[in-house]
């Protein structure tokens, strides 16, 4: 049921602990959302799960095996791909290069080319821009490239850090529609969001993180509406 | 009497006694060695003001030493000025140079500041090589004005002056607190109402004036200067390395490192006439210190002391934190 | 007119050699964020490697370029872990500490070379050394032509690596944003180690060429450190394409100053312009570097 788990995870920067003993679990075919105020350590937690940040104490478990000592590369090969906060577009790389670096773990050239072609099929808007530099794209296009990079390795699990931040409302809708489709296709999504209202529409599990500690967890089904959740949010 | 003032008096008294004992016991060759020790204490402490306390690593402090030396030499030989006045003017010249380049250069951060100041020193070196008034690559010979003893006393006085300044105004004064605040976080210091531009320029000028004075005295002492000897890396580099090895931003670190390293230099020179091997030691020690004790020897020792004192009542505390 | 053309050619030819040094230097800066003060000492040691191999084996020093490359790639790979240790450190001003470390390293290397080999200049001769070609009244020493074309070859090879290979793409990605690159599964530590090793290898080879064109002496390093800084700052630190322009510019400045003003002023003008560029255009003349 829970395919990707953080167990009593501790991590931080330098000597400062930012995430203190957080346990979460996410499942395939579900959207797991982490909410929390600014600076509460959401991104840090996600980075630890992705392998871009060392886990000081506790464990990260994927399909019943510990991956806490695996580098990011191996986690990607195992099917966990991550989109960092602000997207993952490299400003000075072309769209084509951005997609190829998204598929960095694919060593076979033909397969890589094929994957890029598949992404273009999926997002025809990008195909027209393959030579454009990342910095010359609009916010919406950058989001498409980021999602494209994410899908390059055809991952089972997607870790997303605030995918809707800074996007126009119409684009936000598209993004969440896309996520819904991915979920329905059986992917697992572990997502940090500030946009609680829209995220709630697709969420299956809700976690709230405050100052590096988990203060709330409930299945979506237990939360009647946004108001109830906001009430909880205000109390903690 | 405040504790800091008492310590300063005690230390100065001890230094004075040691200086006098050495003066009456050493032969003239060794007296010259100790004169050199004083010079390097003064230079390392001067560099420490901008490089240690302020956190701006100047890689071009030889510019100030050299301009002091050349100003003195030129005023004495060409204009016939009395030596003390020439030395003072040398110090002023160094201060003026620092004031001129300080404004724009101190806007550069980190390694860019280091490269900028290095470029300035190299420009000065080239200028001294090219200009007529400096005698080009041939340099300038000065008349022998005083005995070695006088230069011994002068160098001691200058080294003590830098020490006094560092102790009184920086280590135990508000000027130093401002500098350390801006070193830790320039923006935050600005928020606290510190005019950081002004303070760091002031620190830069002060740390330039002393080497200017020392350079002037050096010129009179050594009686012959040429561009490489006063603007070159043999003056420029040890100032930086001594301070970092001993502990940048501490008073005693540069002093101890200057004494030890300059004596090492002389021992290598006297026994094997190998002053290039000195560079091996300097470089190697710097690499090791930067890798394993980035606060320098005294800085690391201080941190260790503080750590021990803090963890004595509850040793578990420290393990939790790491 | 002839003099002008000759000067132009001289400048361009020597600029080709500077290219080899600064391509790697700027690449290493882009990826590691490290300004290597020891760059000139790698040039010096590269020159001595060529010199001693030539001295004992008697073959043309240019034949030792590949050996020198391999030797310095290994040296770079050995030095890198120390830089990495400093870069991962927790104290603030990490980059500045790395700079100081490389400064210490350069002092150590220079001191070692001086102690071992003294202050003398040493010359080595190549097959091309005493020959020259004349074209339209312009006189070109063959060795400089060879060095220039080698520089061009290296540039093409590096450009191919950067823009046509998987590794090159990951290098550019790491240089732009290490955090993102890591999330894409790039082993950033390995990329940085390889780039540093490559830089050391290229710089060592440049030393051989410079040694054949001029001479080798343990004191030659400083000059090339400042040249590398000059070119990298002019190009914009971390901006690799800018190096092409900047390296040629340095060659031209030197050549023109030497002919029209006097070679005594050449270094002064280089140092002065380095200082002024830092103040006026810290991101380089093309405004594409990192400040
Ligand atoms: N690279 C870093 N080095 C040091 N401290 C960091 C670093 N990144 C984040 N922090 C600190 O860690 C804390 C948590 O940051 P994090 O980015 O995980 O928060 P967040 O919950 O994602 O916030 P936001 O909603 O603003 O994205 C903050 O106090 C931040 O200042
Ligand atoms: Mg965040």
DSSP C222-236: HHHHHHHHHHHHHH-
Domain limits for position C12: 2-280
In sequence order, which residues have a C-beta less than 8 Å from that of residue B285 and are 6 or more positions away?
B241, B245, C104
Q: Does C127 fall in a domain?
A: yes
The residues, ordered by sequence, that sit 6+ positions from A30 with a Cβ below 8 Å of its Cβ are A183, A188, A189, A204, A205
Q: Is residue C290 part of a domain?
A: no
CA atoms within 13 A on the CB side of B16: 7
Give the residue among C72, C25, C69, C30 at the shortest CA–CA distance from C227.
C25
The token pair that represents A19 in the structure block: 């995430």
> Residue A44: CB within 6 Å of ligand 1?
yes
The predicted pLDDT at position B316 comes to: 42
- B290 contacts in chain C (CB < 8 Å): 86, 97, 100-101, 104
Give the rounded distance of the alpha carbon of A37 from its chain centre.
Answer: 17
The owner of tokens 């501490």 is B250
As a whole number of angstroms, the distance between CA B29 and CA B34 comes to 9
Extents of the domains making up chain B: 2-321
Q: Which of residues 117-156 of A touch C (CB under 8 A)?
A: 149, 153
Tell me how many domains chain C contains. 1
Please indicate whether residue B261 or residue C137 has the higher confidence score (pLDDT): B261
Name residue C14's beta-bridge partners: none
Q: Are A43 and A160 in contact (CB under 8 A)?
A: no
**For B154-171, what is the mean pLDDT?**
95
At residue A11's C-alpha, the angle toward residues A7 and A15, to 5°, is 150
Is there a contact between A47 and A53 (Cβ–Cβ < 8 Å)?
A: yes
For residue B294, give the nearest of B247, B253, B251 by alpha carbon: B247
Q: Which CATH number fits domain A4-88+139-235: 3.40.50.300, 3.40.630.30, 3.30.465.10, 3.40.50.10890?
A: 3.40.50.300
Neighbouring CB atoms inside 10 A of A68's CB total 19
Question: Which residues in chain C are closer than 8 Å to B294, comparing Cβ atoms?
Answer: 89, 91, 97
Q: How distant is the Cα of C90 from the closest Cα of chain A, in angstroms?
A: 6
Give the fold, CATH level 3, of B2-321.
ABC transporter involved in vitamin B12 uptake, BtuC (1.10.3470)
Measure CB to CB from residue C115 to each of B122, B244, B280 and give the nearest one: B280
State the pLDDT confidence band at A1, using cuts at 50, 70 and 90. low
A13 alpha carbon, closest ligand: 1
What is the average pLDDT value for chain B, to the nearest integer?
A: 91
Question: Per DSSP, what are the bridge partners of residue C132?
Answer: C141
Report, as an integer, the average pLDDT of A36-50.
Answer: 94
Q: What's the CA-to-centroid distance between A150 and ligand 1, angstroms?
A: 22
Q: State both tokens at C221.
A: 């390093």
Q: Tell me if C291 is assigned to some domain.
A: no
Quick check: is C285 in a domain?
no
Q: Is residue C96 part of a domain?
A: yes
Find chains touching chain C: ≥3 CB pairs under 8 Å.
A, B
Residue C174 inside a domain? The answer is yes
Give start and end residues of each alpha helix (H) in B251-276: 252-272
Q: In sequence order, which residues have a C-beta less than 8 Å from that of residue B95 and are 6 or more positions away?
A: B205, B208, B209, B212
Determine contact, residues B239/B43, Cβ cutoff 8 Å: yes
- Rounded to 5 degrees, what are φ and ψ at A157? -115, 135
Determine, yes or no, domain membership for C51: yes
The residue that leads in pLDDT, C135 or B78, is B78
Is ligand 1 within 6 A of the CB of residue A149?
no
Question: Domain containing C140 — which CATH number?
Answer: 1.10.3470
**Which residues neighbour B180 within 8 Å (Cβ) at sequence distance 6 or greater?**
B53, B249
The pLDDT of residue A191 is above 50: yes
Q: Do residues B248 and B296 make contact, with C-beta atoms less than 8 angstroms apart?
A: yes
C159 is a domain residue: yes
SS3 (DSSP) at A32: strand
What lies within 8 Å, CB to CB, of B18 at 6+ separation is none
Secondary structure class of B225 (helix, strand, coil): strand
Contact between A105 and C185 using a beta-carbon 8 Å cutoff: yes
Question: Phi, psi (5° rounding) for residue B229?
Answer: -75, -25
Question: B197 burial class (0-12, 13-18, 19+ CB within 10 angstroms)?
Answer: middle
Extents of the domains making up chain A: 4-88+139-235
Query: Is the distance from CB of A55 to CB of A10 less than 8 angstroms?
Result: yes
What is the spatial distance between Cα C237 and Cα C285, in angstroms, rounded to a whole number? 10
pLDDT per residue as tens, chain C (291 positions): 688 888 888 899 999 999 999 999 999 998 988 899 999 999 999 999 999 999 999 899 999 999 999 999 999 999 999 999 998 876 667 788 899 999 999 999 999 999 999 999 999 988 888 888 888 788 888 899 999 999 999 999 999 999 999 999 999 999 999 999 999 999 999 999 999 999 999 999 999 999 999 999 999 999 999 999 999 888 888 888 889 999 999 999 999 998 899 888 988 999 999 999 989 888 887 777 776
Which ipTM value was assigned to this complex? 0.91
Does the beta-carbon distance from C173 to A90 stay under 8 Å? yes
Each residue of A210-230: b (16+ CB within 10 Å) or e? eebebebeeebeeeeeeeebe
Residue B297 CB burial class (10 angstroms; 0-12, 13-18, ≥19)? buried
* Tens digit of each residue's pLDDT (9 = 90 or more) over B80-104: 999 999 999 999 999 999 999 999 9
At residue B318, the pLDDT reads 41
The number of residues in chain B equals 322
Cβ–ligand 1 distance for A42 under 6 Å, the answer yes
């Amino acid at each position: 049921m829970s395919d990707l788990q953080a167990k009593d995870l501790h991590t931080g920067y330098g000597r400062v602990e930012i995430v203190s003993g957080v346990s979460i679990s996410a499942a395939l075919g579900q959207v797991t959302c982490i909410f929390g105020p600014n600076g509460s350590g959401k991104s840090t937690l996600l980075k630890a799960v992705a392998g871009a940040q060392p886990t000081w104490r506790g464990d990260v478990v994927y399909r019943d095996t510990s991956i806490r000592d695996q580098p990011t590369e191996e986690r990607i090969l195992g099917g966990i791909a991550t989109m960092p906060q602000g997207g993952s577009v490299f400003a000075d790389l072309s769209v084509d290069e951005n997609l190829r670096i998204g598929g960095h773990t694919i060593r076979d050239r033909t397969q890589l080319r094929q994957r890029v072609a598949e992404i273009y099929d999926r997002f025809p808007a990008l195909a027209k821009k393959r030579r454009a530099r990342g910095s010359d794209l609009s916010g919406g296009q950058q989001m498409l490239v980021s999602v494209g990079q994410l899908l390059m390795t055809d991952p089972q699990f997607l870790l997303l850090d605030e995918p809707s931040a800074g996007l126009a409302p119409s684009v936000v809708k598209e993004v969440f529609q896309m996520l819904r489709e991915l979920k329905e296709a059986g992917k697992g999504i572990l997502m940090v969001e500030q946009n609680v209202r829209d995220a709630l529409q697709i969420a299956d599990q809700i976690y709230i993180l405050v100052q590096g500690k988990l203060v709330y967890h409930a299945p979506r089904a237990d939360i009647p509406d946004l108001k109830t959740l906001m009430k909880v949010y205000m109390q903690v | 009497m405040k504790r800091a003032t008492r310590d300063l008096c005690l230390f100065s008294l001890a230094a004075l006694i040691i200086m006098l004992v050495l003066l009456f016991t050493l032969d003239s060759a060794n007296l010259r060695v100790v004169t050199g020790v004083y010079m390097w204490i003064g230079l390392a402490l001067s560099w420490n003001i901008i490089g240690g306390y302020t956190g701006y690593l100047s890689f071009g402090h030889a510019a100030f030493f050299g301009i002091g030396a050349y100003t003195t030499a030129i005023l004495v030989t060409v204009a016939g000025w009395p030596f003390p006045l020439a030395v003072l003017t040398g110090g002023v010249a160094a201060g003026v140079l620092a004031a001129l380049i300080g404004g724009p250069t101190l806007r550069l951060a980190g390694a860019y500041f280091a490269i900028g100041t290095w470029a300035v020193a190299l420009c000065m070196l080239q200028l001294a090589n090219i200009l007529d008034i400096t005698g080009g690559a041939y340099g300038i010979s000065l008349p022998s004005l005083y005995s070695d003893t006088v230069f011994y006393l002068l160098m001691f006085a200058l080294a003590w002056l830098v020490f006094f300044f560092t102790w009184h105004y920086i280590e135990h004064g508000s000027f130093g607190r401002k500098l350390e605040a801006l070193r830790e976080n320039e923006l935050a210091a600005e928020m606290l109402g510190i005019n950081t531009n002004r303070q760091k320029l002031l620190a830069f000028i002060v740390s330039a004036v002393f080497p200017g004075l020392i350079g002037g005295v050096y010129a009179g002492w050594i009686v012959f200067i040429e561009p490489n000897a006063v603007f070159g890396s043999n003056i420029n580099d040890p100032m930086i390395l001594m301070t970092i090895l001993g502990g940048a931003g501490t008073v005693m670190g540069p002093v101890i490192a200057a004494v030890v390293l300059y004596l090492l230099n002389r021992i290598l020179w006297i026994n094997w006439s190998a002053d290039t091997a000195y560079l091996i030691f300097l470089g190697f020690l710097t690499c090791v210190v930067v890798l394993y004790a980035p606060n320098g020897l005294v800085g690391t020792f201080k941190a260790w002391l503080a750590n021990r004192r803090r963890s004595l009542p509850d040793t578990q505390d420290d393990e939790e934190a790491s | 007119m002839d003099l002008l053309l000759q000067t132009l050619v001289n400048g361009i030819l020597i600029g080709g050699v500077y290219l080899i040094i600064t391509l790697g230097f700027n690449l290493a800066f882009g990826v590691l964020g490290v300004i290597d003060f020891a760059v000139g000492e790698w040039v010096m040691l590269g020159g001595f490697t060529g010199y001693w191999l030539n001295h004992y084996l008697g073959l043309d020093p240019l034949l030792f370029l590949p050996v020198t490359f391999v030797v310095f790639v290994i040296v770079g790979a050995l030095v890198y872990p120390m830089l990495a240790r400093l870069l991962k450190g927790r104290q603030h001003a990490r980059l500045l500490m790395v700079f100081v470390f490389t400064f210490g390293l350069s002092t150590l290397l220079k001191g070692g070379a001086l102690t071992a080999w003294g202050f003398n200049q040493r010359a080595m001769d190549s097959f091309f050394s005493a020959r020259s070609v004349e074209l339209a009244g312009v006189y070109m020493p063959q060795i400089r032509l060879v060095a220039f074309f080698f520089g061009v070859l290296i540039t093409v090879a590096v450009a191919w690596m950067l823009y046509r290979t998987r590794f090159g793409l990951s290098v550019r990605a790491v240089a732009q944003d290490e955090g993102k690159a890591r999330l894409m599964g790039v082993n950033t530590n390995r990329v940085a180690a390889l780039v540093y090793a490559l830089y050391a290898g290229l710089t060592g080879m440049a030393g051989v060429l410079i040694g054949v064109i001029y001479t080798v002496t343990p004191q030659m390093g400083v000059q090339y450190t400042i040249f590398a800084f000059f070119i990298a700052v002019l190009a914009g630190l971390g901006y690799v394409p800018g190096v092409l322009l900047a390296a040629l510019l340095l060659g031209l400045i030197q050549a023109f100053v030497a002919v029209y003003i006097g070679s005594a002023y050449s270094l002064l003008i280089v140092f002065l312009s380095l200082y002024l560029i830092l103040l006026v255009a810290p991101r380089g003349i093309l405004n594409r570097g990192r400040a």
